[in-house]
Structure 1
Amino acid sequence: MDLFYVLPHQLDLEHARAVIDGEEFHHLARVLRCQPGDVVPVTDGSGFTAELVVEAIGKHSIEGAIRNPRTVPPPETQVTVALSLLKLPQRFDLFLEKATELGVTRIVPMITKRTVSTPDSGKIERKIERWRGIVLSAARQSRRFHLPELSHPLAFREALRLDGYDLCLIAHESEKGFPAFEPAGKKILFLVGGEGGFTDAEVADAVEAGFTPVSFGESVLRAETAGIFAVALVRARLLAEADPSKRL
């Protein structure tokens, strides 16, 4: 069964109780036809996980008892992808879904010189809410105990000032190779441009800010594919690691 998410206010750990409502309730009650007595895996998206023994199903919520609670530590290796907003919303949606499945830690929508679609300030909250729904659905399916952080859109220069990373990489089609890459246990930031990629000036600014330009291969990838590839690249490298805590 998929993993389901409960908000902190829906958990009563003192009395070992929980409530599921909203979209999670709809999926459980209307799609999976959950019944009293069923056992549902739940998490708060921040590492807490347990089993919910369903006791009552109402019109808008499911209630039950919590058992076997435990805390799952976050992966030691963390990947952030700052991806330019794209002209076609469904392509950015695809990136959100697949990057979440692959284990991305943080997603930063970015506005670059060549960004075609810039969000209207009056509509951005609704857009972010829709993005969160996509991330939540993908995290549920892939059974993630730690939900990715979804940032508000940042300008390119703001993305350059993101700190706390061990590796800062910018994908650019003019590069010919990829440097020695040991991601295990590190915090990694990828910058990925949109349609048309980054300008030479943006790449120069990124290098000055400490970023290393890298190639994702000879063929030019669509922006959403490049963003997905960045997370998959780290995941593939970590599969060879003996310590599973370092994996995505």
Structure 2
Amino acid sequence: MRIPRCYEPQPMNPGDSLMLGDNNVQHLARTLRMRAGDQVLLFNGDGQEFHATALEVDKRSMQVRIDSGEAPKRDSALQIHIGQSLSRGERMDYAVQKATELGMARMTPLFSERCEVKLNSERQDKRLRHWQQVAISACEQSLRCTVPQLDAPEPLDHWVRSVEADLKLVLHHHSATPLGDLPRPGSIALLIGPEGGLTEAEVQLAMASGFRPVALGPRVLRTETAPVVAQAILQSHWGDLAGN
């Protein structure tokens, strides 16, 4: 059986014994029915991965021993910060999940002029917790050892004026700027519009704030598809995907 891999947000060192959190007890003890002596892989977001052995397991608790740790190089050196215009339900989940799998370092959900999502402070907190769990699950699946930062939603105009990066890009299908003409960056801020697209005023604001307009091809992509395609191109061009 494949060794389960789980995010456990607590300090770990080889030789430690620790009690796993409720989410992992639910998954490992109740769903997978692990027993004492079974193996599990754990990570806490600090860049390391730990091999652990189950010591005591019941339906309400699970104790493990940390046997060893390592720091595999699975995170891209290219730091990509996505400003993602908010979309509804599964579309936003998809964007977070796939962007995490492709190595995103950080995402800030944005309220833009054509954004149809309205969130009060309580719903914002709930959605942010949900997106963080989507990112954690994507890290578990993709073998990432760090969890990308998910910010609270903020207005697009504030983000484009305040974000810092070596290279700032706004996806704009009227642009013909080729990536090959741009200098190699260590960090990228990537602005992605909503289903209805960015308004011309928003594109102009981004450009006035140092963003370069780029197009990914002749077709217009959906808002949840754009970060996937953009990151695949950027990671292939400057990051750690095959072909770089």
Q: Secondary structure at the match of 2:64?
A: strand
Q: Secondary structure at the match of 2:28?
A: helix
CA distance in 2, matches of 1:147, 1:140: 9
1:33 Cα offset (Å): 2.4
Aligned ranges for residues 34-183 of structure 1 at < 5 Å?
Answer: 34-72=34-72, 75-86=76-87, 88-180=88-180
Amino acid at match of 1:3: R
1:91 Cα offset (Å): 0.7
Q: Is it true that 1:4 corresponds to 2:6 in the alignment?
A: yes
CA distance in 2, matches of 1:176, 1:114: 24
Q: Report if aligned partners of 2:170, 2:190 keep a CA contact under 8 Å in 1.
A: yes
Amino acid at match of 2:79: Q
Amino acid at match of 2:9: L
CA distance in 2, matches of 1:15, 1:98: 35
User: Please, what is the CA RMSD of the aligned residues?
Assistant: 2.1
The answer for the alignment partner of 1:244 in structure 2 is none
1:78 Cα offset (Å): 1.2
Q: 1:162 to 1:72 in 2, by over 3 A?
A: farther
1:234 Cα offset (Å): 2.1
1:182 Cα offset (Å): 6.8
Q: 1:182 to 1:210 in 2, by over 3 A?
A: closer
1:12 Cα offset (Å): 5.4
Structure 2: gaps spanning 5 or more residues:
none
Q: Report if aligned partners of 2:15, 2:67 keep a CA contact under 8 Å in 1.
A: no
CA distance in 2, matches of 1:2, 1:102: 21
1:184 Cα offset (Å): 6.5
Q: Report if aligned partners of 1:77, 1:183 keep a CA contact under 8 Å in 2.
A: no
Q: How many pairs were matched up?
A: 238
Give the TM-score normalised by structure 1: 0.88
Give the TM-score normalised by structure 2: 0.89
More displaced stretch, 155-164 vs 207-216: 155-164
CA distance in 1, matches of 2:184, 2:175: 24
1:176 Cα offset (Å): 2.8
The answer for the alignment partner of 1:207 in structure 2 is 207
CA distance in 2, matches of 1:41, 1:124: 32
The answer for the alignment partner of 1:246 in structure 2 is none
Q: Report if aligned partners of 1:6, 1:43 keep a CA contact under 8 Å in 2.
A: yes
Structure 1 runs of 4+ aligned residues shifted over 4 Å read: 181-185
1:38 Cα offset (Å): 1.2
The answer for the alignment partner of 1:30 in structure 2 is 30
Identity, in percent, stands at 29
